[in-house]
Amino acid sequence: MTGNQTPQATPKVSLKQYCRQEAETASLAQRLASSIREGMKNSPQSHFNIALEGDLGTGKTTFARHLIQGLGYEGKVKSPTYTLCEPYELHSNQDSFTAHHFDLYRMRDPLEWQEAGFAEYFDVPGFCLIEWPEKAEGTLPTFDIQITLAAGAEENERAIELNASSEQGKKVLERIQKTQAAPN
Ligand SMILES: Nc1ncnc2c1ncn2[C@@H]1O[C@H](COP(=O)(O)OP(=O)(O)O)[C@@H](O)[C@H]1O
Ligand SMILES: [Mg+2]
C-alpha cells in the first residue's frame, strides 16, 4: 500500500513590492504592461483578467492608469466610478486590442455588470481590469492575476502584491521576476 498521495502542489507565483511613492507604483505597473505586451506578441487573440483589490484610496485606479498608459494609451485615463466601465483602444505595429477598466463599487446588484452587457468584454482580445471585483460576489469570469494594494507605514507607501491565478498569469509574473533578477 502506498498510502494517501498528496496532490502535487503547483508552485504559486506571486510578487510583493513596497512602493514608497506613486512613481514606484507607476514603474511596477509599467513592468506589468511590458510583460503583458510580450505575452500578446505570441498570442495576439488572448484575453487577460486582472483584479484590483484594496480599500478606497490605496491606488487601484492609479495602478490601472499607469498600466493602461504603459500599454501605449496616450490619452487621459479617468476613474470609471460613475460609468462602471471605460474602454481603451490600444494599438501596436502588429495588433490592436481593447482594455476595459471597470470600477464595480457602485453596483447595486452583483449581476448588474451582466445586465449592462459587459459579459462580452471578457471574450475580446485584450484585457479587463476590475476594481472592486468583490461587489460581483463571485459572478465574474476567473482572474489571471489578482493585485492587492494596501496602505504602508508612510503616507505615500503602498504594499502591492501580484498573485497569478492561471497559467497565463504565471507566465506574465515570471517574466517580471526574470527582468528584476537580471543584472543592470
Ligand atoms: N505609492 C503610491 N501608489 C499609488 N498611489 C499613491 C501612492 N502614493 C500616493 N498615492 C495617491 O493615492 C491616491 C490613490 O487614489 P486612487 O488610485 O483613486 O485609489 P483607489 O482607486 O484605490 O480608490 C492618488 O491620489 C495617488 O496619487
Ligand atoms: Mg478607484
Q: Whose CA is closest to 97, among 29, 36, 27?
A: 36
* Residue of 180 and 179 predicted with greater confidence: 179
Distance (Å, whole) CA 123 – CA 46:
9
5: pLDDT confidence band, cut at 50, 70 and 90?
Answer: low
User: How far, in whole angstroms, is CA 19 from its chain's centroid?
Assistant: 17
Mutation to probe ligand 1, out of 62, 69, 129 (largest number of atoms < 8 A from CB): 62
Q: Whose CA is nearest to atom 2 of ligand 1?
A: 22
pLDDT at 145 > cutoff 70:
yes
Report the separation in Å between the CA atom of 10 and the middle of ligand 1, taken as the mean of its atom positions: 33
29 CB near ligand 1 (under 6 Å) = no
- Which triple of cell numbers denotes residue 46? 488572448
Q: In sequence order, what are the residues at sequence separation of 6 or more whose Cβ sits closer than 8 angstroms to the Cβ of residue 27?
A: 19
Could you identify the atom of ligand 1 that is nearest to the CA of residue 24?
1
Q: Whose CA is closest to 80, among 100, 102, 106?
A: 102
Supply the pLDDT for residue 94: 72
129 CB near ligand 1 (under 6 Å) = no
Q: Whose CA is nearest to atom 17 of ligand 1?
A: 59
Supply the pLDDT for residue 124: 86
The predicted-structure confidence for 35-52, as pLDDT tens digits, reads as follows 998 888 888 788 999 999
Supply the pLDDT for residue 45: 83
- Which triple of cell numbers denotes residue 55? 480599500
58 CB near ligand 1 (under 6 Å) = yes
Distance (Å, whole) CA 149 – CA 129:
14
pTM of the model as a whole:
0.92
Supply the pLDDT for residue 161: 98
The predicted-structure confidence for 115-133, as pLDDT tens digits, reads as follows 999 999 998 888 999 999 9
Asked whether the beta carbons of 156 and 20 are under 8 A apart, the reply is yes
Could you identify the atom of ligand 1 that is nearest to the CA of residue 79?
18
- Which domains does the chain possess? 14-179 (3.40.50.300)
End-to-end CA distance of the chain: 53
The predicted-structure confidence for 59-112, as pLDDT tens digits, reads as follows 999 999 999 999 999 999 999 999 999 999 998 767 788 999 999 999 999 999
Report the separation in Å between the CA atom of 152 and the middle of ligand 2, taken as the mean of its atom positions: 18
Residues near ion ligand 2 (Cβ under 5 Å): 60-61, 131
Across the chain, mean pLDDT equals: 91
CB-based burial, 47-62: b 16+ in 10 Å, e otherwise? bbbbbbbbeeebbbbb
